[in-house]
Amino acid sequence: MATRVFNLGFIPKVIVEVLPYLSVTFLIVLGTMVFASIVGFLVAKAKIKNGVTRHIANAYITVFRCIPSIVLLFLVYYGLPQLFQMLFHVDISFWNKAVFVILTFALLFGANMGEVMRAAYEAVDGGQTEAALTVGLTERQAFFRITFPQAFRYALPNLANIITGLMKEGALAYTIGLIDMMGKGKMIISLNYGAYTLETYLALFLIYWVLTKAVEISFGQMDKRLSRGGKTIAG
Amino acid sequence: MSLNTEFMKETFFLALDGVPVTLKITGVALFFSLIIGFLLALTRIYRVRIFSSVVAGYVSLIRGTPMVLQVLIVYSMVPSLLNSIVKSLGWQVNVFDINPVVYAYVVFTINTTALITEIFRSALLSVSKTQLEAALSVGLSPFWAYVRIIVPQAVEKALPNICTTTVNLLKGTSLAFMMSVADVTAIAKTQASFGYNYLEAYADIFAIYILLCGVVQILFHLLERRLTRHRRVAVA
Amino acid sequence: MLELKNIHKSFQKNEVLKGVNLKVEKGDVVVILGPSGSGKTTLLRSITFLERADKGEIRLGDLVLDAEKAGKKEIHQIRKKTGFVFQNYCLFQNKTALENVTEGLIIGRKIPKAEAVRIAKEALDKVGLSDRYDYYPSQLSGGQQQRVGIARAIAVQPEVILFDEPTSALDPELVSGILAIMKQLAKEGSTMIIVTHEMTFAQDVATRVVFMDGGEVVEEGTPREIFSHPKEERTRQFLSRFISDSDYVI
């Protein structure tokens, strides 16, 4: 590693080259959120009901809170094809890398989602459902029209955390060769024989920071807009 | 092809050798983060000029960016920076001989300090102001009011979040392999690529992290029980 | 019109209702009295299956429901024919006062929106909230919230309105306003079942008073019979604790 002058002008260049890959990062976040929500919904449902499923859900949460993202990513990416080969004699190693990434993070963040959903559901007073039933709504209508909108509001700040967390952890996807912003950054570095390593990383650092802020701010705005129903007389 | 249990067992014990490294990084980073984080939290609460906004910016940057980037940046910046400093001082030290684990200490301290600062800040703010006033009114100096009344209450409130942060730190140290530190992940990863026994190797790491994480959580649980004794005594 | 037969209900091992029978005719205002834990609220809630009774029969008009076996559809039917006013109002926090009332009309009963809004405004006007249509529950006082609660219950033109201690969460100065509205409803001929501790109101408004204790109906009769000449010792003891008013004490 030879010492050389730091080139500030290279940072904007990297940003311009990397930004088109924002869509990949975005799709990974979106895809993961969809599947994590499904996992989370099942976890929350299991935890709300009393029974064996509750213990399973708890075990799932405990285990997946303990595993580093990168370890699970490697386990899924390298291990799952091996497992499929072993059990079903099917080769899945050629599947799009995004599939493995989304699967990994859906499993990880599904545990968080489950906890967030459960907490939000329990934050809504049980009387709300009862009242909805007494005015003639069905249970499904009561859930979707009364409980869910209120629970969603409670969950909003935590959802913002999950999304920013996912974005940040998602940066690991390059380690299995996915070409998202990080992956592109790594390519730029090797194309320059490592000459602009620090500049490239700093450019990515900047992009991620702006993205996180953007998510936080937009969720804050949404929270404000939705808080009509929860305002005090003073508000 | 089936699961190579022999390899799995072997790798498990090999990877266990990495546990001290993982724990050392976690411990060192946590130790410094708690001290620095507490002091930084104070500068935030007392709005120490300029310093407060610098700290706020630092916390925001660290919390808003991927840990892996922080690792990569420190690892690509600090050694050469150190090298040029050492050279300009005319010292006869080869910076590149430094054990990379030192850089791991640095990255994870930088990262965890930001999180701890935020935790302490909100914990300190949550301790009611009247507690300080009461302490001062019985004749404690501000210093002792903090040491004896405010801080213990704040720590109690911060503990669950510190536990979460510690677990995340423990998990985060798995990125140390990128700095060629031989921690649990690095050892199992190397083993895996020898024989393409990925499933077995990563299942091993999986198990080790669950064990470590379990221990951390139990320790914090015990600590919490100790610190909240006064609540139970009051009830009994 | 409404008839409860042999209603049983236990929570774990605690038997809360031990075979309660109750008959309510059209236009009746039935006040249920009794010490806390006597099963009044559970009885009221079991009518609309907010609590499913373990055994018994519930009849409302031509609907006959077996408490044990009643299916989703039947339960939905009976809920559409009853109004329920909650102790802690239970207004939909995410809806305005007007939306709270229209919800059951538009979604529950498929009444066209314009028509529903008209009905809802009428109901809110009736409880004195013509200037609060677009307020959210958190912007209303307790008394106003309970008024919305009543408007929500009456707007659907239920065959019977159930009141579960409608004033016990309110500040004392707000109670009389709510009671006045209920009295007005009674005057207009609404069929009502009311669980309450407001003795004066019970004497004034009830056509029939039911005294419950320990999960069963101890005694029932006209207000005069119950308050002036209670037959049972338990009723007497209960009333003497509540009423200092010499007129009604033997």
DSSP secondary structure, B45-97, as one string: HTT-TTHHHHHHHHHHHHHTS-HHHHHHHHHHHHHHHHHHHHHHHT----GGG
Q: Is the ipTM of this complex over 0.90?
A: no
Cβ of A12: how many Cβ atoms within 10 Å? 12
Summary mean pLDDT of chain C? 91
A2 has pLDDT over 70: no
Q: Are chains C and A in touch, 3+ Cβ pairs below 8 Å?
A: yes
Q: Give B141 or B164, the one with higher predicted confidence.
A: B164
Average pLDDT over residues A114-126: 91
Residue bearing the bigger pLDDT, B13 or B218: B218
Please, are residues A170 and A28 in contact by the beta-carbon 8 Å criterion? yes
When pLDDT is cut at 50, 70 and 90, the band that residue B143 belongs to is: confident
High-pLDDT (> 90) share of chain A, %: 54
Compute the count of residue pairs across chains A and B with CB atoms less than 8 Å apart.
110
Q: Which residue has the tokens 């209960």?
A: C238
pLDDT at C177: 92
Q: B196 — phi, psi (to 5°)?
A: 55, 30
Overall average pLDDT of the A125-130 stretch:
90
Mutate to test the interface with B, among A78, A86, A104 (most CBs of B within 10 A): A78
- Dist CA C179 CA C95 (whole Å): 25
Task: Supply the pLDDT for residue C29.
Answer: 95
Q: Checking DSSP bridges between strand C160-164 and strand C82-85, what pairing results, if any?
A: parallel
Report for B72-81, B133-142, C227-236: range of highest mean pLDDT? C227-236
Q: Is it the case that residue B229 has pLDDT exceeding 80?
A: no
**Region of poorest pLDDT, from A39-48, A167-176, B45-54, B168-177:** B45-54
Query: Rounded to a whole number, what is the distance in angstroms from the first to the last CA of chain C?
Result: 34
Which residues of chain A lie closer than 8 angstroms to C86, CB-CB?
127, 130-131
Neighbouring chains of A at 3+ CB pairs under 8 Å are: B, C
* Residue of B171, B185, B211 to mutate, interface with A, max A Cβ within 10 Å: B171
**Which residues on chain C are in Cβ contact (under 8 Å) with A138?**
72, 76
> Shortest CA distance to A202 belongs to which of A4, A54, A2, A7?
A7
Q: Which of A174, A185, A16 is nearest to B76 (CA)?
A: A185
Q: Which one is predicted more confidently, C153 or B5?
A: C153
Higher pLDDT, A94 or B163: B163
Q: Is there an interface between C and B (3+ Cβ pairs < 8 A)?
A: no
Residue contact C94–A150, C-beta within 8 A: yes
Instruction: Using DSSP, state whether B1 is helix, strand or coil.
Output: coil
pLDDT band at residue B62 using 50, 70 and 90 as cut-offs? very high
Question: Is C154 within 8 Å of chain A by CB?
Answer: no
- The DSSP H or E segment spanning A101 is helix A97-123
Instruction: Tell me which chain C residue has its CA closest to the CA of residue A153.
Output: C94
C39: left (phi over 0), alpha (psi -120 to 50) or beta: left
pLDDT beyond 90 at C193 = yes
Sign of the Cα torsion B127, B129, B130, B134 reads positive
Which residue in chain A is spatially nearest to B58 when comparing CA positions? A209
pLDDT at B2 (0 to 100): 64
Task: Tell me how far the alpha carbon of residue C157 is from its chain's centroid.
Answer: 14
Are the Cβ atoms of A3 and B175 closer than 8 angstroms?
A: no
Q: Do C79 and A125 touch (CB under 8 A)?
A: no
Residue C248 is predicted with a pLDDT of 42
pLDDT digits (tens, 9 = 90+) for C66-120: 998 888 889 999 999 999 999 999 999 888 999 999 999 999 889 999 999 999 9
Least confident of A39-48, A88-97, A179-188, B144-153: A88-97
What is the mean predicted confidence (pLDDT) over A97-119?
A: 93
Mean pLDDT of chain A: 87
Q: Residue C244's pLDDT band (boundaries 50, 70, 90)? A: low
Identify the residue among A128, A134, A226 best suited for mutation to test binding to C, counting C beta carbons within 10 A and taking the highest.
A134
pLDDT tens across B85-102, in order? 888 887 777 777 788 888
Strands C55-60 and C63-66: antiparallel
B171 contacts A68? CB cut-off 8 A: yes
By the CB < 8 Å criterion, does A63 face chain B?
yes
Mean pLDDT of C2-14: 92
**Range name among B189-193, B231-235, C53-57, C185-189 with the lowest pLDDT average:** B231-235
Residue identified by tokens 């649980």 is B221
Q: Which pTM was predicted?
A: 0.81
Q: Is the pLDDT of residue B34 over 80?
A: yes
> Does residue A3 have a pLDDT over 70?
no
Residue in A with minimal Cα distance to C163: A134
Residue B196 has pLDDT above 50, yes or no: yes
